[in-house]
């Protein structure tokens, strides 16, 4: 699988430490060494390559597809140690991101996934 890491000065959206757009990965300055975050974004790149013509549209317009994508990416991220947060703390944080309203910290999935459901999906 091919992906391209974009220089940190081309920042991800506000409130995001990283993002993937097709085969391009952007990691915010200060997070370059976060292996879990990179694994999360590379997971999204893999999702793109599995369906390059329609992944972006499906992610944007299908909440069920978006939920599936994020759960897979956060599960991948959980497999990597973090210098500050323990596994259970990160799982709790990621479940909050998945179930939070809006696009700042959350993925606008609160109407199809509660925090409790997200915690189960991440286990």
Ordered by start, the domain boundaries in the chain are 35-122
Question: Contact 46/1 with Cβ under 8 angstroms?
Answer: yes
Count of CB atoms within 10 A of residue 84's CB?
6
The pLDDT-based confidence of 104 (bands split at 50, 70, 90) is low
What is the per-residue pLDDT across 78-99, written as a single tens digit (0 to 9) for each? 999 999 999 999 999 999 999 9
pLDDT surpasses 90 at 71? yes
Backbone angles phi, psi at 46, to 5 degrees: -60, -40
Q: Report the candidate in 85, 82, 99 with the shortest Cα–Cα distance to residue 39.
A: 82
Question: 75: helix, coil or strand?
Answer: helix
């Amino acid at each position: 699988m091919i992906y391209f890491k974009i220089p940190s000065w081309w920042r991800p959206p506000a409130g995001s430490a990283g993002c993937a757009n097709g085969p391009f990965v952007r990691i915010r300055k200060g997070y370059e060494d976060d292996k879990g975050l990179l694994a999360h974004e590379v997971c999204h790149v893999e999702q793109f390559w599995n369906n390059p013509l329609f992944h972006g549209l499906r992610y944007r317009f299908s909440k069920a597809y978006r939920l599936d994508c994020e759960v897979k990416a956060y599960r991948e991220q959980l497999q990597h140690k973090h210098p500050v947060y323990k596994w259970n703390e990160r799982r709790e944080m990621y479940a909050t991101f998945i179930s939070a309203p809006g696009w700042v910290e959350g993925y606008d999935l609160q109407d199809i996934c509660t925090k409790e459901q997200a915690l189960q999906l991440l286990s």
